[in-house]
Each structure stands twice: as C-alpha cells, then as structure tokens.
Amino acid sequence: MKTFEVDIRSLDSSPDVRVIALNGYLDAHTVADFDRCTDELIAAGTVKIILDLQGLSYISSAGIGALMGLSQRLKKDGGELVLLQPTQKVFKILDLLGFTRIFHLCDSEDEAEQILRS
C-alpha cells in the first residue's frame, strides 16, 4: 500500500520552475516528508513551485498548513506556489473550507507556467 511519494522535476521551458508531483495522502503523518523535501528545494534557491496534485488522494489540516507555509516562504523570496489539478475530492475539501480563493489553482501546466513567469 502506497502512502506518500514525492517526485521532483524542472520545467524544460522554465528551468527555474520546479514541479513537485505528490502521490498518496498528505496528512499529519506524511507532512514531515513533504516539509523535508520543500526545505531542501528552498535551501537550494527554488522560489517558483508547481505542486502537481493529480495523484493526491487526501489532504488534512496539517497538509493545508504546510502548503500555506510554503506559499508564504516562496512569496517572501519573490516567488510563488501554484497548485495543479487537484482531484475532485481534494478540490472539494479546499473549496468547502475557502482555500480555493487563497491558493493559486491551475488546470494545466502551461497555465501554471504563465502565472509563474509573469
């Protein structure tokens, strides 16, 4: 049974943009793995991140808090966080709580890239 996996790559067309694909669930247990991964990226100078949520089956308050903290840190450094294609279930949770008005959500990688370029 898979729990949580993180896959990181750079965009060919914008090498300073990192795409982090999440697979599994981001809860109070797996959030430590997520934080470790984003800490490393930020330490290495990354400020623009696309978080690919197509494989994310669930997010808890711990996960939402991690995304909020990440977004804030990237903004402070002049960067930005964009969320890409959450599953219907994760979108619904974010939407019911009001977070779809707070995060930058995108339907495609191209759209996300546009936002991070501007």
Partner 1 sequence: MSLPRPFILELRCPVEMSILSWIRGVIAQTAAALGLPEEDLSKIEMSVDEACANVIEHAYPDPPEEALPLTVRVEAMTDALRIMVCDSGVGAGDLRGAVKSIEEYVEVKRYRGLGTHIMQRFMDEVEFVQSPGEGTRVCMVKYLTPPNATVGSA
Site of interaction with partner 1 (CB under 8 A): 1-3, 25, 27-29, 58, 60-62, 64-65, 68-69, 72, 89, 92-93, 96-99, 102
Smallest distance, Å, CB 68 to partner 1?
5
Q: Tell me if 8 sits within 8 A of 40, measured CB to CB.
A: no
The residue (of 101 and 118) whose beta carbon lies closer to partner 1 is 101
Output the six-digit token pair for 89: 């279930």
Strands in 80-84's sheet, in edge-to-edge order, are 4-10, 17-26, 48-59, 80-84, 104-106
Smallest distance, Å, CB 3 to partner 1?
6
| CA count, 13 A, side-chain hemisphere, 48 | 14
Q: Please give the Cα distance from 57 to 72 (Å, whole number).
A: 24
The residue (of 40 and 102) whose beta carbon lies closer to partner 1 is 102
Smallest distance, Å, CB 60 to partner 1?
5
Residue 27 burial (CB < 10 Å; 0-12/13-18/19+)?
A: middle
Smallest distance, Å, CB 59 to partner 1?
9
The residue (of 45 and 101) whose beta carbon lies closer to partner 1 is 101
The residue (of 6 and 62) whose beta carbon lies closer to partner 1 is 62
